[in-house]
Amino acid sequence: DIWYPADERSEAPTAALDLLLTDLELPGVLADPPPAKGSFPLVVFSHGNGGVRFQSWFLMETLASHGFVVAAPDHAGNTALDALTGTSDPIAVAANNRPRDVSFVIDEMLAHGRDPASALHGHIDEGNVAVAGHSFGGFTALATVAGFGDYQPDPRVDAIVPIAAATFGLTDEQLASIDVPALLLSGTSDTTVPIEPGIAHAWDLLSGRPSSRVDVLDAGHNSFTNVCDIRDAYVAAGVGDPVLALVESQAEEGCAPELLPIDDAHEVTNLYAVSFLTRELQGTARFAPFLTERYAERHDLPVELFVRPAHGRAAAAA
């Protein structure tokens, strides 16, 4: 799926998201409109293990509305459909393939930007590229700039946003080699990828500046996805097991009443992702104040924030 800033004068119809077994209308999103004027940074989004390209559309929609082109692929052999049909690759194979998938998508998207026959011709800023991802997708974002196995780091990636990132398989040396700015988002109630030790350890090793780590209080592993919306859409459409059972199991770590309300988790995720990527890829400081501990404290945000500025001493705020 490709999300991009739309020409607001377009009369294109409202988009409906294909959830494989039903459609969901997306108010405020247009179906295949002409792009807005301008050249926009590229963000590739990598889904989680056994996930799907549209799993976090709240974030993709928000990024597109703030001037980014977002490309979200399915990782063949590691999708929800593969999990349901028994065609999943071994985890080691998927780990090796994923950063290659991202580099392939970057190749294809840049080719679209250069192709006069493409709707995105002239609309992709080749000099500003980021990779974001959730869970195994967070690993993928890290691996794309650190290298993994015989995959070499992709030098075109300027920033990364690992979300609830699975850091397994990456050595301390690989993590320490990551010298691009990073935004690490995680949930303090994540039982699949707990912040301690994996996220905290990676944060200690990353060398990119400026970088931020946002621990979202009482957020679960899937609080950074649209799992509740997908579950509700499937229930309304009468989708049964095994699909509904799979989604219900994932919803436990995003929609449970003891967790931070998922809309609040999305709002915090959008705030920090947009602010970080706007600063790093669009070269503007207009959202930079949102990345400070002072802003988090003044607005009583449900986060613990760690900031590693371009120069100077690191800071933290709860």
pLDDT, tens digit, for every residue of 69-85? 999 999 999 999 999 89
- Which residues in the chain come in under a pLDDT of 70? 311-318
pTM (predicted TM-score): 0.95
Q: Determine whether 116 is exposed, middle or buried from the number of CB atoms within 10 Å of its CB (0-12, 13-18, 19+).
A: exposed
- Residue 7 is predicted with a pLDDT of 95
- Residue 311 is predicted with a pLDDT of 60
Ramachandran quadrant class, 13 (left: phi over 0; alpha: psi -120 to 50; beta: rest): beta
* Cα distance between residue 122 and residue 262, in whole Å: 36
Long-range Cβ pairs for the range 204-209 (8 Å, 24+): 205/172, 205/175, 205/176, 205/178, 206/175, 206/176, 206/178, 206/182, 207/176, 207/177, 207/178, 207/179, 208/159, 208/178, 208/179, 208/180, 208/181, 208/182, 209/181, 209/308, 209/309, 209/310, 209/311
By three-state DSSP, how is residue 7 classified?
A: coil
- β-partners of residue 24 are 17
CA quadruple 49, 74, 20, 233: dihedral sign: positive
State CA 291 to chain mean position distance: 18
Place of tokens 């300027």: 158
Closest of 62, 56, 36, 23 to residue 138, by C-alpha:
56
pLDDT, tens digit, for every residue of 120-176? 999 999 999 999 999 999 999 999 999 999 999 999 999 999 999 999 889 999 999
Closest of 50, 200, 71 to residue 130, by C-alpha:
71
With contact defined as beta carbons under 8 Å apart, do 243 and 227 qualify?
no
DSSP letter for 257, please. Answer: T
Read off the amino acid at residue 47. H
- Residue 316 is predicted with a pLDDT of 53
